[in-house]
Amino acid sequence: MYEIGHFIGGKHVAGTSGRSAEIFNPATGEVQGTVALANESELRAAVENAKAAQPAWAATNPQRRARVMMKFVELLNRDMDKLAEALSKEHGKTFPDAKGDVQRGLEVAEFCMAAPQMMKGEFSEGAGPGIDIYSIRQPLGVVAGITPFNFPAMIPMWKFCPAIAAGNAFILKPSERDPSVPMMLAELMLEAGAPAGILNVVNGDKGAVDAILDDPDIQAIGFVGSTAIAQYIYGRGCSNGKRVQCFGGAKNHMIIMPDADMDKAVDALIGAGYGAAGERCMAVSVAVPVGEETAERLIEKLVPKVEALKIGPWTGGDDVDFGPLVTREAQKRVLGLVDRGVEEGAKLVVDGRKFKMQGYEDGFFVGACLFDHVTKDMDIYKTEIFGPVLSVARAADYEAAIDLPMSHEYGNGVAIFTRDGDAARDFASRINIGMVGINVPIPVPLAYYTFGGWKASGFGDLNQHGSDAFRFYTRTKTVTSRWPSGIKDGAEFSIPTMK
């Protein structure tokens, strides 16, 4: 058993609220530790430390801040296995998948080495008689991130790396379900040269979230999680005058055209649908074959591969395809949705509800499930299941196929598999989804492009990582200057123009 507190002012501090939550081993169902749940005063202590550290950090030139990111990347590579092991123990995902979690966060830290370039403003000499105009980007001050359990390394780094590189101080409120890795990341940032107080980690539940939303010194908040909570955070944060970006749920479709390479399409569905036990906001959860012949070929090839998936704990080796869900509640929810799909009339062609892992009977495992003949009025189609469940929704033609993702409330990611360039181009142009894959099942952009969904998948004007991240964590100041040689005598009462 271990205990996790908070990381405030460059130090590990014990919780003082008297409240804590249990940390489970998802493979065994056993409690392996506890994490403190912060109250408002503990959050306030983190904010005060951040406020004290931020002005000097903002005054540090961007190149030196970039060097801290460079060192941070070096330390992430050094401790990659250590971070992945801690992540797997608390989340349950396989060791290779955990390393991928760390790697995708590391890539954003690499991009943040470009802080000197991203912080550049604009300059216009002689914009008027003796007048120069220039713009500068300045950090907001103290900002915060509220991040989910499914990527406890990647998403915190998506938030705090650009914020800190831009000159802000950061308050991170990670998921209380797998808190170890965020604490380790804070230690590494300190080792990399970030001053104490620039990255603080406050563990907690809704109480800590509300304290962040209401704190007058926190200028901006980034969130990733469910749509219902995203709407709550966006509304309350904006009403308190904060800059807020929130990313919510998803129901990602993959369209399989009749001319698609079926073997490649099936392999893509297996990895994108069942990887990380489906606990990804970019997981493909709906396969849309176009035409009955395409659907029959898809099911014929898909069923044996789903049945052959190997499920086990992260210690099971590299041949384990996916592990348990994160909590007992998540397991019950997914199994309940599968039951609901059967009740609604979908055909459950692969049933993983009774899967039990020998020696891990109390773990939070759910076997791979595959539905066919799913329709858009069913709960399993409308709801983000967040488990190892793939639904096949057959479409008569291309127009019927693209109508499914276009009419769904979520708009996070979508993919099409085809050999037809015209179809792919039309699809990419017309689809009302934020991230599009063409023969790519999980279209997560690289770190120098931005990540974000449309419709009920995203709230706010700017996306995560890439150039949008630096825009979100900075504000633009525009300076108009004129020196005495260009100033005419006498007062001017009309609005300045370039006439």
- Distances in Å between the Cα of 71 and the Cα atoms of 64, 78, 99, 168, 412 are 11, 11, 19, 18, 33
User: Would strands 347-350 and 369-372 be described as parallel, antiparallel, or unpaired?
Assistant: antiparallel
**Nearest in space to 9 (alpha carbons), one of 37, 45, 36:** 45
Cβ(292)–Cβ(394) below 8 Å = yes
Question: Around 376, how many Cα atoms within 13 Å sit in the side-chain half-sphere?
Answer: 15
Asked if 246 is an active-site residue, the reply is no
Supply 95's token pair.
């060791």
Q: From the candidates 112, 246, 281, 369, which is the catalytic residue? A: 281
Supply 269's token pair.
């569905």
**Nearest in space to 304 (alpha carbons), one of 350, 237, 346:** 350
**Nearest in space to 146 (alpha carbons), one of 69, 62, 244, 72:** 244
- In degrees rounded to 5, what are phi and psi of residue 168? -90, 165
Supply 305's token pair.
């591969």
State how far the Cα of 448 lies from the Cα of 471, in Å rounded to an integer. Answer: 13
With H, G, I as helix, E, B as strand and everything else as coil, classify residue 297. Answer: helix
Instruction: Give me the DSSP letters along 190-207.
Output: HHHTPPTTSEEE---SHH
With H, G, I as helix, E, B as strand and everything else as coil, classify residue 309. Answer: coil
Catalytically active residues are: 281
